[in-house]
Amino acid sequence: MSTTFVLVPGAWQGGWVWQPVAERLRAAGHTAITITSPGLAGGDVRSGLHLSDAVEHLIAEIEKRDLRDVVLVAHSWGGYPVTGAAHRVAGRLSGIVLFNAMVPRKGVSVADESDLMGPQLRAAIEATPDGTIPVEPGYLPLLLPESGEELRSFFADLMVPMPGGYFTEALDVADISGLSVPMHYLLSDNDQVLIRPGAEFAARLGLTPQPVGRGSRW
């Protein structure tokens, strides 16, 4: 049976990061669509973007294709646009998969999730003329802890500054636990970049994380 997967990446990344997974899904007979949120493609204008722009973009991508029986898949920060969109397209969904993903609470931004990281994120935004958060050099070894320099260099060339509003703005919707679709939380044992432990995010939805070992999209 063919399934339609809509793959939403994390911070600083575009749909390119999901391409290896998308190719495997297509080879298995499924439909796979990778999402690049506004501001996260090379050459995009990033100033003045809001979290709602990422949510609306995801909704528009689903609706303009008239997608049905969709499995939304989120990685890391992708949990924010997926949560915001899921309520609006609930009738088109057949499932939600969260891979090392944030599970937002109503009214709580990414920056609000951590007393330690929050001030650092806001300071980084204030330090840039376009209100973005650059990719820190020390981030890639955490994102790709077991990868070589070649893959890290590939990521470094494609990752772009993150629109600040994506980290400082919150959703005005409840979490997705009330939606009547199957949900799964996948957690790799080498994740080092989530702002809170993945098990804590999964618990917000009443889920037990499903371990995927040293899971990767590559």
Above 60 in pLDDT, residue 215? no
Mean pLDDT value across residues 196-204: 96
Identify the active-site residue in 2, 47, 52, 76.
76
Contacts of 214 (CB under 8 A, 6+ apart): 146, 188, 189, 190
- Separation of CA 18 from chain center: 11
The pLDDT value given to residue 147: 66
Above 70 in pLDDT, residue 146? no
Active-site residue flag, 76: yes
> Does the predicted model carry a pTM greater than 0.75?
yes
Domains annotated for the chain, with CATH where assigned, are 4-211 (3.40.50.1820)
